[in-house]
Each structure stands twice: as C-alpha cells, then as structure tokens.
Amino acid sequence: MNVYDSNRIKDLFEPKGYSQTSKVEDADLVVLNTCHIREKAAEKVYSDIGRIEKKFSKNKKHDYKLVVAGCVAQAEGIEIKNRAPRVDYVVGPQSYQNLPEMINKNKEFISDDFLQNEKFKSLIFKSSNIVSEFISIQEGCDKFCSFCVVPYTRGSEFSRPVKEIKDEIKQYIDQGIQEVILLGQNVNAYHGQGNNKDVDLAYLLESISEFEQIKRIRYMTSHPNDMSDSLINAHVSNKKLMPFIHLPIQSGSDNILKKMNRKHTRNKYLEIVNKLKSKRPDIAMSSDFIVGFPGESDDDFDLTMNLIKEVEFSIAYSFMFSPRPGTPAYKLTDIDKNIKKARLSALQSLLKEQQKNFNKSFVGKELEVLFDRKGRNQNQYIGRSIYNQSVFITSKENLIGKILQVPIIRSTDFALEAKKQ
Ligand code: SAM
Ligand code: SF4
C-alpha cells in the first residue's frame, strides 16, 4: 500500500512540473513515505533524515523541501519537527492529497486528518507499471488486534465505491495494464457502494473481470473472519481470479489468538483452508506469523508449527513480536529475546522448506506465467505464475506483457526457471 501511496504522491506533483530524480541530492522536494508497523520505524526515519541532510549539505544545496509522509508521520505528528527541525511538512496516509497545496501556500506544517473519502476524489492515477498495477480498494481497520498500529495510523475501515475503483482501472487499461492487485489492510472486509447498494469483494471481483483487457486479478491482505462463502466460491467461478490467497493467522494457538484479540480460532482458520481447498484444490496458501507474542509458551509455539505442517504454505511472512507504543500488547511483558529469535529461526526454516517443496513440485510441468519485467541477465524475462511464484526465462523475443504456458525446468528456493524460448 505504501508503494501505491508513493505513486499517488508522485502523480500529484507531476502536473505541477515535478519529475522523479534518481539521486536524492538533485531533488527540490524529498518525500519520505514511511511504515510504522514494527519497532524502530521512527528511528529509521530520523536516521534517513540525517543521511539526506548530509547529502544535500555536501552538494551545498539548501533550498529543498523535506516531507515525512505515511504512518510514522501520523503516529509522531508534531514531534517530528522537534526532533528533526529541517523537516518542512508532515502528512499522514489519509491526507497526503493536501501536500501540493501546503507547499504552494507554505502555511500549514502538518496534515493528519482521516480524510479517506476526500483523498481518493483528489488523487491522480497514472500507471507506474506496464503490465500489473496495485489498486487500493479498502483502507484502515476496525479490528484492533492487540499488537497492531494500523487502526490508529490508517484510521477506521473505509471502502471505495465500485464505480470509482473501475474508473481508476479504466485509466490503467488505457496504458496497457493486464493485471490488477486489489489492496486493503483487510481487503475481504470490502463493502463499497455498487448498484445503489452495499456490495462485497466477490461482487467487485466479478465486476472488474468484465473488463476484457484485464486478464488476471489478485487481492491482499485477507482476514479469516471476513472470508465469506461468496468469496470462496469466486475462486471457482471467476476464471480471472488467481488461485492464491494471503490469509494471515498470526499464531496457531487459541490461547495466543485470544490475547492478540484476533477473534478467530485455530479451528476456524483450518475450516476456511479446508473449504478453500475442497472448492479449488490447487489453491496456494500464504500467511503471516508473529513469533514470541507475550506469554507464548513452548506449547503455544508448537501449535503454530503443527498448523504450518498441516496447511502447507506456498509462501509466508514471519516476524518477531514488536511492542508498539499505544497498542494494548505494548504493556504486556515481552518474552526473552533469545527465545523469540530461536523460535523465529525454526519457524522460518519450516516455511522455507515448504516453499522449496512447493516450487519443486512444478519442475517437469507447465505453468501459466504473465511476464512483466526484464531480468538482470541478457534476454532474461521475469513473470508471475498463477500461484504468484517468480518465474524467469531466457528468450530472444520480448515477452513483457505476454501470458504463456511455459515448461518449468528448475526450481530455486524462491523462484522457478522456465525452458529457454
Ligand atoms: N490485516 C492483516 C491481518 O489481519 O492479518 C495484516 C496487516 S498488517 C499491516 C501486516 C502484518 O504485520 C501482520 O499480519 C502481522 O503479522 C505483522 N505485524 C503487525 N503488527 C506487528 C507487531 N507489533 N509485531 C510484529 N509483527 C506485526
Ligand atoms: Fe492490524 Fe490486520 Fe489486526 Fe487490523 S486485522 S488490527 S490491520 S493485524
């Protein structure tokens, strides 16, 4: 979502005569778009500011504007000015549309209201890619997991109307986009206006698939409690919807899930996975895990490891619990750092093994791949399989934008190689 927001900030400034630079010290305007999800985010921003200031002063250039945007801006607010006086403007993730005017008028210093509705109406949408594009359809969260800053930094749940989303997609189609990746902190909680009523994600997916030029649709990130039957069935009926789902569980222990205020159980998650697999047996599963949440015992951790063995993930992301100020879990007693580290390492080895095995199972078979960029080597192209794996190939012909059925000859830990064309 930060990539999406950064592109929108860039698009807001292009009509004002700005263009992107490759060297920070050449810039007239520097925007640091920040994430606050885990610890040290704010510290990293302050050290980046220092690094940027040094680069400019080395070049004896002092007339640049420095902006801190994103969730660190939202969380730190005015405090940023106290710690980094060189910062000119601070804008939160739901009010960055105000930035051009703030700079133009040079009056306000901070904009941190939750103006989701206004924001999308003021944005400009230019494609940043040639094949595949992110589209933010839902923002914010009302779920208040005890470890998470999102409800405080991105605000409450907001869904964009269907027409607005489709109008944005039309602009990307005009520029040749063939794949859309729908984004939301809880994308499957989507409940926007369409056809004069509240509609769900399955409806939106169906409506988007009516665009002939759109060949593939993906969405992320989903919450187990919003995994409706209509969405599960869309994975059978909607041929453009890719057989991959990112569905975080965080922990395999009900005891920890309760402390996390996740409001779902291990069994509920497994039921959803079984339902998905019974309807679409080849669906690739992905998840997020937090290791070392306060109070996590060896038994709790074993339950998480067992769940991973039971589900078998094609890929998954895992993090050590990071206490975030302002969240309920911040006050809980953190567990020993070495225990956390050892558990994370064991969990990541298991996930890596599963990813390796998943990729290996395609060697000798054909896979459908959408090629979207050039690789590092000569005549090399990289794309994504229907299961979201990275696939590379050598070809004399330009394959960018092509959807091909390719024979897989080799797998690495994180990617697949297809037969030379
Ligand atoms: N809405 C999604 C869900 O409910 O699973 C997750 C969105 S969150 C922006 C992305 C991931 O960051 C989470 O799934 C979680 O694993 C991780 N995360 C969030 N807060 C964290 C914390 N305090 N410590 C460690 N990881 C955290
Ligand atoms: Fe954060 Fe996701 Fe929980 Fe919302 S549902 S509070 S975004 S982890």
pLDDT digits over 179-198, tens only? 999 999 999 999 999 989 99
How far apart are alpha carbons 50 and 190 in whole angstroms?
A: 40
Q: For tokens 């080849």, what's the residue?
A: 282
List pLDDT tens digits, range 129-142: 889 999 999 999 99
Position 39 scores a pLDDT of 83
Asked if 123 and 12 touch (Cβ cutoff 8 Å), the reply is yes
Q: How far is the CA of 378 from the centre of ligand 2 (A)?
A: 42
Predicted confidence (pLDDT) at residue 281 exceeds the cutoff of 80 = yes
Q: How far is CA 309 from the centre of its chain?
A: 25
Residue with tokens 């409800």: 151
Ligand that lies nearest to the alpha carbon of residue 330, given by its number in the listed order: 1
* pTM (two decimals): 0.95
- Give the other-Cβ count within 10 Å of 78's Cβ: 10
pLDDT band at 272 (very low <50, low <70, confident <90, very high): very high
Q: Tell me the C-alpha distance between 250 and 340, whole Å.
A: 14
Label residues 297-307 b or e (16+ Cβ within 10 Å = b). Answer: eeebbebbeeb
Structural domains of the chain, ranges and CATH numbers in brackets: 2-115 (3.40.50.280), 118-360 (3.80.30.20), 366-418 (2.40.50)
Q: Which amino acid is at 138?
A: Q
* Confidence bin at 62 (pLDDT 50/70/90): confident
Q: Looking at mean pLDDT, say which of 59-73, 109-123, 265-279 comes out highest.
A: 265-279
What is the distance in A from the centroid of ligand 1 to the CA of 159?
A: 20
- Predicted confidence at residue 306, as pLDDT, reads 98
- Count Cβ atoms below 10 Å from residue 228 Cβ, excluding itself: 14
> What phi, psi does 38 have (nearest 5°)?
-125, 165
Is the CB of residue 321 less than 8 Å from the CB of residue 292?
Answer: yes
Question: Does residue 322 line the site of ligand 1, with CB under 6 A?
Answer: yes
**Cα–Cα–Cα angle for 46, 109, 149, rounded to 5 degrees:** 55
C-alpha dihedral (249, 70, 334, 79), degrees to nearest 10:
-160
Q: Is the CB of 113 under 6 A from ligand 1?
A: no
Is the CB of residue 80 below 6 angstroms from any atom belonging to ligand 1? no
Predicted confidence (pLDDT) per residue in 334-358, tens digit: 899 999 999 999 999 999 999 999 9
- Per the listing, tokens 């911040």 go with 330
Q: What local confidence, expressed as pLDDT, does residue 42 receive? A: 84
Could you tell me if the CB of 257 is within 6 A of ligand 1? no
* Contact of 245 with 284, CB cutoff 8 Å: yes
Residue nearest to atom 5 of ligand 1 (CA): 248
Q: Which residues pair with 374 in a beta bridge?
A: 381
From 37, 246, 322, give the residue whose CB has the most ligand 1 atoms within 8 Å, as the site to mutate: 37
3-state class (DSSP) for residue 418: strand
Q: Residue 319 CA: which ligand is closest?
A: 1
Strand intervals (E) in 343-401: 366-374, 380-385, 390-394
- The answer, yes or no, to whether any atom of ligand 2 lies below 6 A from the CB of 141, is yes
Q: Which numbered atom of ligand 2 lies nearest the CA of 154?
A: 7
How far apart CA 94 and CA 112 sit, in angstroms, is 7
Closest CA to 221 of 283, 136, 164, 290: 136
Alpha helical stretches, state H, 22-175:
41-58, 71-76, 79-83, 99-105, 116-122, 150-153, 162-174
Best mutation site among 223, 226, 269 for ligand 2, i.e. most ligand atoms within 8 A of its Cβ?
223
The residue whose C-alpha atom lies closest to atom 13 belonging to ligand 1 is 288
Cα(275)–Cα(277) distance, integer angstroms: 5
For residue 144, the ligand closest to its alpha carbon is 2
